[in-house]
Amino acid sequence: MKKAWLFAALLAASAPALAEEARALADDPAIEARLVNLASDLRCLVCQNESLAGSRADLAQDLRREIRTQMKTGKSDQEVIKYLTDRYGDFVLYRPPFKPVTYLLWLAPLLFLAIGATTWFFVLKRRRNNVQPEVDEQQLAAAAKLLEEDQ
Amino acid sequence: MGSIKRWIPLIIFVALAGFFLKGLRLDPREVPSPFIDKPAPAFSLPVVGDAAKQFSPADMKGHVWLLNVWAPWCVSCRQEHDFLMQVRQSGAVPIVGLNWKDKDRQAGALLEQAGSPYLAVADDQSGMVGIDYGVTGTPETYVIDKQGIVRFKFIGPMGPQSWHDKIEPKLKELGA
């Protein structure tokens, strides 16, 4: 327990130090923050399961440099994204835009929800219609007697 | 009624299996190019082996041609090189090379040694022209028509099979 507290305290103490180090790397922290924010939503085209922010591929480095340059010249995030989609298509976006080819992609969850809800509705409806069969007192008594005899 | 219901899970399974099987056969590298049926981006770059000369796609107006993006450091480009030599010999279509990110300046020596299948090779040292064309890796080949419009993009090394199935019909259609 003591160890855990010590560890937590050390961790807390080291956090500002880490932040300092990261900041020193970037010559313009505001641009760098924008770059990381934007590039983490973009796909690296060489290693497709990595984001543009995290990839060390050569092309990703080139693209990050280009984005940085464009941001420094005052381009907005939207303009930078347009620059990339003009060249690489919507495939660079991890968040595909809502347009006719992606309707199915975006609406599929709702569709599945609708299918589920419909199924649920019909199951419940049938269950309600399944009324208990009417059993008269005599039959119940006979059944109870049979059970008793069994024991 | 009951018997149809029993088959529903199997039907769903077969449908899903069908989708997955199709997915297995798709190549994730074959990203659709946004340049199809759009003008090939303009550029002007020095020519490998003759830096005084410049190449620009406008020079090819009136011809159907291939822009082959390659690099000396790219292994599958070497594999493609032999096939490109055959294409050059057949005279089917002029091929222009785009030497992409050749930081070690190897392209000239390599082509001199192995022979060049190219009409000219534009030297894209910074890689920015490649980025303007949406290149993600070498080799990639663009089929560009007489008006300078990109009509097709092939990703990966071309070979006899892909040439016959994909490039040749496109060239015929464009009147190469």
ipTM score of the complex?
Answer: 0.80
Nearest to B136 among A45, A66, A86 (CB): A45
A96, A119, A140 - which closes a domain:
A96
Work out the number of other CB atoms within 10 angstroms of the CB of residue B79.
14
Range of the domain at A36: 1-96
Cβ-Cβ contacts under 8 Å between A and B: the total is 35
Q: Is there a contact between B127 and A62 if contact means CB atoms under 8 Å apart? A: yes
Question: Residue A69 maps to which CATH number?
Answer: 1.10.8.640
Give me the pLDDT at residue A10, please: 60
Domain identity same for A73 and A2: yes
A64, A79, A96 - which closes a domain:
A96
Domain identity same for A68 and A126: no
Give the single-character DSSP code of B163: I
Q: How far apart are CA B101 and CA B123, in angstroms?
A: 8
Give me the pLDDT at residue A109, please: 95
Domain identity same for A117 and A135: yes
Give me the pLDDT at residue A132, please: 72
Chain A interface test: which of B103, B136, B150 (most A C-beta within 10 Å): B136
Domain identity same for A56 and A92: yes
- Residues 6 or more apart from B80 whose CB is under 8 A from it? B68, B70, B139, B157, B158, B159
Which residues of A fall below an 8 Å CB-CB distance to B? 45-46, 48, 58-59, 62-63, 66, 85-89, 91
Domain identity same for A105 and A92: no
Domain identity same for A112 and A56: no
Domain identity same for A102 and A86: no
Domain identity same for A83 and A123: no
- Is the pLDDT reported for residue B11 higher than 50? yes
Distances (CA, A) of A4 to A7, A12, A14, A15, A137: 5, 12, 15, 17, 69
Smallest CA–CA distance from B134 into chain A, residue: A87
- Is the pLDDT reported for residue B59 higher than 50? yes
Arithmetic mean of pLDDT, B9-22 = 95
Task: Give percent of chain A with pLDDT exceeding 90.
Answer: 31
Give me the pLDDT at residue A101, please: 86
pLDDT, tens only, A35-54: 988 999 898 888 888 899 88
Catalogue all structural domains in chain B, each as residue range(s) with its CATH number.
Answer: 33-174 (3.40.30.10)
Domain identity same for A40 and A113: no
A96, A119, A137 - which closes a domain:
A96
pLDDT, tens only, A2-38: 666 666 666 565 655 544 444 445 578 888 888 988 9
- How many domains, chain A? 2
- Is the pLDDT reported for residue A1 higher than 60? no
Domain identity same for A130 and A92: no
Specify the amino acid at residue A46. Answer: V
Give the single-character DSSP code of B53: E
Domain identity same for A104 and A124: yes
Domain identity same for A11 and A65: yes
Q: How far apart are CA B108 and CA B84, in angstroms?
A: 17
Q: Is there a contact between A87 and B134 if contact means CB atoms under 8 Å apart? A: yes
